[in-house]
């Protein structure tokens, strides 16, 4: 279904009378390696080669971010028009509000604060993250291979710069429901 949604969004955009005046805007939340952005970009270039675009890709896995930059570059996606954000998408904005487990590519992201402790209490307790943010010792956790902290960014924050969005692809590890 995602192929249909992505391609349908691009086709709908190209049929708009304003398509040459405004950019195609897409957010890929939980971007991984940007597969759906690249799919949309390829379709957009096929149907309307001169179209403007703006992409926002949010990814919490630090190991994917350098590769994501390379992949976008190799696929001729201008990084002037693609914003890559190292963050988890959630129900609030918080600096270092989640902890990604230390395994590259392993999807264990824990919202480690007293407000969300019921989601993953053991990993957060073990890593010492069920304490106020200003009392957390991130450098110790990183040195011990216990995880990498990342910011949490809310959907309203991601959308605030856009008057119209053509597509949001969201694969954020079960955090879709609270949003």
Residue 99 has pLDDT above 70, yes or no: no
C-alpha 31/C-alpha 58 separation (Å) is 6
More confident residue, 42 or 112: 42
Average pLDDT of span 36-46:
97
Question: Considering only 33-47, 96-110, 129-143, which range has the smallest mean pLDDT?
Answer: 129-143
End-to-end CA gap in the chain: 21
- How far is CA 106 from each of CA 77, 103, 173, rounded to the nearest angstrom? 27, 5, 11
CB 150 within 8 A of CB 62: yes
Pairing of strands 94-100, 82-90: unpaired
pTM for this one?
A: 0.78
What's the pLDDT at 95? 82
Percent of the chain with pLDDT over 70: 69
Segment 143-163 mean pLDDT: 81
Question: What value does the mean pLDDT take over residues 33-51?
Answer: 95
In this predicted structure, the answer to whether residue 176 has a pLDDT above a threshold of 90 is: no
pLDDT in the model for residue 118: 52
- Which two three-digit tokens encode residue 18? 């304003």
**Highest mean pLDDT: which of 1-5, 16-20, 157-161?**
157-161
Tokens representing 115 are 């407000």
In the predicted model, what is the mean pLDDT of the chain?
A: 79
Percent helix, percent strand, percent coil in the chain, to nearest 5 = 35, 25, 45
Q: What is the pLDDT of residues 111-149, one digit of tens each?
A: 444 454 455 445 555 544 444 455 555 555 545 555 677
pLDDT of residue 126: 54
55-80 average pLDDT score = 92
């Amino acid at each position: 279904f995602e192929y249909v949604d992505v391609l349908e969004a691009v086709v709908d955009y190209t049929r708009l009378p304003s398509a040459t005046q405004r950019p195609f805007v897409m957010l890929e939340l939980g971007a991984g390696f940007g597969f759906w952005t690249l799919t949309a970009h390829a379709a957009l270039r096929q149907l309307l080669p001169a179209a403007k675009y703006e992409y926002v890709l949010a990814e919490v896995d630090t190991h994917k971010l350098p590769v994501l930059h390379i992949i976008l570059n190799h696929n001729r996606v201008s990084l002037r028009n693609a914003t890559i954000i190292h963050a988890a998408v959630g129900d609030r904005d918080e600096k270092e509000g989640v902890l990604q487990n230390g395994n590259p590519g392993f999807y264990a992201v824990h919202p480690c604060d007293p407000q969300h402790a019921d989601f993953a209490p053991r990993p957060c307790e073990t890593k010492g993250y069920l304490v106020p943010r200003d009392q957390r010792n991130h450098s110790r956790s990183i040195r011990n291979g216990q995880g990498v902290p990342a910011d949490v960014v809310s959907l309203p924050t991601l959308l605030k710069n856009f008057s119209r969005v053509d597509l949001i692809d969201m694969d954020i590890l079960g955090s879709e429901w609270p949003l």
